[in-house]
Amino acid sequence: MPSEEDKLSALSPRDRQVLKEISDGLTDPRKIAEKLGIKEVSVISSAEGLAEMGLIGLDKRVEEVYALTEEGARYAEIGLPERRILEIAGAGGVPISEIEDPALKVGIGWLKKKGWAAVEAGKIKPAGDAPPGKDEEILGALSFQGETSGSALDSEALKLLKGRGLVESRAQKSWSLEITDAGRSVFRKSVEKDVAGRCDSISHINQITPDMIKSGVWEGGYVSYKGSRYEVRPYDVALPAERIYPGKVHPYQRLLSRMREIMLEMGFSEIKGEVVQSSFWNFDALFQPQDHPAREMQDTFYLDSRAEIPDHSRVKEMHEHGGEVGSTGWGGTWDPEVARREVLRTHTTSVTIKYLADHPNPPVKAFSIDRVYRREAIDPTHTPEFEQLEGVIMDEGLSFANLLGVLREFYAKMGFEEVRFRPGYFPYTEPSVEPEVYIQGLGWVELGGAGVFRREVTAPFGIDHPVLAWGLGVGRLAMLRLGLKDLRLLYQSDIGWLRDVPTLSRM
């Protein structure tokens, strides 16, 4: 425990001033600040330091204070609508039809609720005496004295007035300071030190300069510098410093950048595409039947527009009869008008297949990280907009084993040491797998899907070599990497969370 001498030497001149005022009986930081001619925040800062040393007691309180709104101030002056209706009605009452002012009509319901009047045969009839209510008393009090603590006012009446938009509240912090026995003892020693005359000849250092360190003469807790003698206040280097919140890239954007960096390191080229796609590229080119449930309005955002589509004869043949790849197709009649309907892309594969159609010759090694849109109900794990990462490789002699190797490499670079694959089903790949990574505390977690494009997808565009493809929802990966339980945090401006995410953590 620091001695009284240690505590005294640790006090700055301002700390001593604040301690003196508290010793003299001032308990409100605002009044101390006014007396010393300094800012209230400076007094509070000194008070917190004094409280840490046990020299004062510090009581912090937060209370609701209330004030009139603009409408409340008007009613405080002219009266509540229900009171004014009573004045108009007098003892004999008044027909409702004569209450034409909309601002007065709202008072009819309150008249009945308060039991001040009844409505019979279209006429408002006063029910007797109507003494001022608690709500009217509060309006008058707030009008007279301004902002007032809620503890001094009737809580039920306040609730009614707040519901009517006549009063508003805010949280107000209050501080109460009181000197302790230890503080009195240290203050006495401070006074004795001043009386001894030491403070008349010795100044206090507010800031040590490099020149003072180099050329000053240091003796114990004092330094002689340029003809003056200064007392040096000790600093506790173990005390926690004020937190600094530097500017930094959003954690989700850092994750997207890291994934992009990994794909480029692995030799992929990034491709981009339009958000609005035709149903042809979003569905038909991927051999998805035109009556597939995923095309329904509950899954897809359709637009009231039509797109131009390329020569579709081979796609039509593949859907109806299976083309020349040994497939039976889907049968029925493929309708080009359905293919022309424009949608907000439901996956980035619509961009991928279009790129492959434009580059049918090997080698192709491309990826995209982009936003897609689906009609999802918003909850902690689903949003109608989210990002997808997708990669494709097309070359001679590629096999399913090559796909698994690329996936292991990608997930290893993302920091997942244990990866496994289980069979899966996807409409436009065969064979297909679902990669899973092991997360401590969660077990095996599925992170995307992968497979080899079916010949029904590639053949209509003259692609004669295997196409390895995979994709994953970046949101789920972000939740794992950032320890989130609610996906919506990625898109909200939660300053507390953004500050707490480490700046230098590698995604």
Nearest to residue 480, comparing CAs of 495, 492, 490, 471? 490
pLDDT value at residue 229: 80
Confidence class for position 363, pLDDT limits 50, 70, 90? very high
Q: Are residues 22 and 85 in the same domain?
A: no
pLDDT for 185-231, tens place per residue?
A: 877 877 666 555 444 445 666 677 888 888 888 877 678 888 888 77
pLDDT value at residue 202: 52
Answer yes or no: is 506 within a domain.
no
Per-residue pLDDT at 390 exceeds 80: yes
The one-letter amino acid code at 299 reads D
| Cα–Cα distance for residue pair 268/254, rounded to 1 Å | 19
Per-residue pLDDT at 353 exceeds 50: yes
Confidence class for position 442, pLDDT limits 50, 70, 90? confident
Q: Is the distance from CB of 351 to CB of 370 less than 8 angstroms?
A: yes
Q: Is the distance from CB of 126 to CB of 86 less than 8 angstroms?
A: yes
Q: Region 349-355: what's the mean pLDDT?
A: 93
453 is in an annotated binding site: yes
348 is in an annotated binding site: no
Per-residue pLDDT at 301 exceeds 60: yes
CA 190 → CA 14, 229, 397, 500, distances in Å? Answer: 13, 18, 88, 42
Answer yes or no: is 247 within a domain.
no
Q: Are residues 108 and 228 in the same domain?
A: no
Q: Region 130-155: what's the mean pLDDT?
A: 87
CATH number reported for the structural domain that contains residue 430 in this entry: 3.30.930.10
265 is in an annotated binding site: no
pLDDT value at residue 454: 93
Nearest to residue 262, comparing CAs of 60, 477, 1, 495? 477
| Cα–Cα distance for residue pair 390/408, rounded to 1 Å | 15
**Cα torsion angle, 365, 371, 375, 379, sign:** positive
C-alpha 398: how far from its chain's center? 45
Confidence class for position 340, pLDDT limits 50, 70, 90? very high
Answer yes or no: is 175 within a domain.
no
Q: Are residues 124 and 257 in the same domain?
A: no
Residue 467, classed as helix, strand or coil, is strand
Q: Are residues 82 and 96 in the same domain?
A: yes
Q: Is the distance from CB of 309 to CB of 340 less than 8 angstroms?
A: yes
Q: Are residues 324 and 458 in the same domain?
A: yes
Host H or E run for residue 449: strand 449-453
* Burial per residue of 165-177, b for 16 or more beta-carbon CB atoms within 10 angstroms, e otherwise: ebbeeeeeeebeb
Host H or E run for residue 410: helix 400-413
Answer yes or no: is 245 within a domain.
no
pLDDT value at residue 199: 44
pLDDT value at residue 1: 62
Confidence class for position 364, pLDDT limits 50, 70, 90? very high
pLDDT value at residue 110: 86
Q: Region 148-160: what's the mean pLDDT?
A: 86
Q: Are residues 440 and 364 in the same domain?
A: yes
pLDDT value at residue 197: 45
pLDDT for 85-124, tens place per residue?
A: 888 878 788 888 888 888 788 888 888 888 888 888 888 8
Per-residue pLDDT at 439 exceeds 70: yes
More confident residue, 271 or 239: 271
pLDDT value at residue 422: 93
428 is in an annotated binding site: yes
Q: Are residues 194 and 326 in the same domain?
A: no
Could you tell me which residues are beta bridge partners of residue 467?
394
CA 200 → CA 193, 204, 228, 382, distances in Å? Answer: 10, 11, 12, 70
389 is in an annotated binding site: yes
Q: Are residues 152 and 291 in the same domain?
A: no
Q: Are residues 12 and 30 in the same domain?
A: yes
Cα separation of the two ends of the chain = 44
CATH number reported for the structural domain that contains residue 192 in this entry: 1.10.10
Of 27-31, 401-405, 491-495, which range is least confident?
A: 491-495
Q: Are residues 227 and 101 in the same domain?
A: no
Answer yes or no: is 311 within a domain.
yes
Q: Are residues 281 and 359 in the same domain?
A: yes
pLDDT value at residue 494: 80
Torsion of Cα atoms, 68 then 71 then 73 then 77, to 10°? -150
Confidence class for position 506, pLDDT limits 50, 70, 90? low
Count how many domains the chain has. Answer: 4
Nearest to residue 387, comparing CAs of 295, 280, 275? 275
Place of tokens 């077990």: 443
Answer yes or no: is 106 within a domain.
yes
Secondary structure of 198-267 as H, E, C letters: HHHHCEECCCCCHHHHHHCEEECCEEEECCEEEECCCCCCCCCCCCCCCCCCCHHHHHHHHHHHHHHHCC
Q: What's the predicted TM-score (pTM) here?
A: 0.56
Enclosing domain of residue 148: 67-170
Q: Are residues 486 and 382 in the same domain?
A: yes
Answer yes or no: is 61 within a domain.
no
Answer yes or no: is 357 within a domain.
yes
What contacts 13, CB < 8 A, 6 or more positions away?
A: 204
The two beta strands, 228-231 and 203-204, are parallel
Per-residue DSSP letter, 461: G
pLDDT for 4-36, tens place per residue?
A: 766 766 777 788 888 888 888 888 888 888 888
Mean per-residue pLDDT over the chain, rounded: 85
Confidence class for position 235, pLDDT limits 50, 70, 90? low
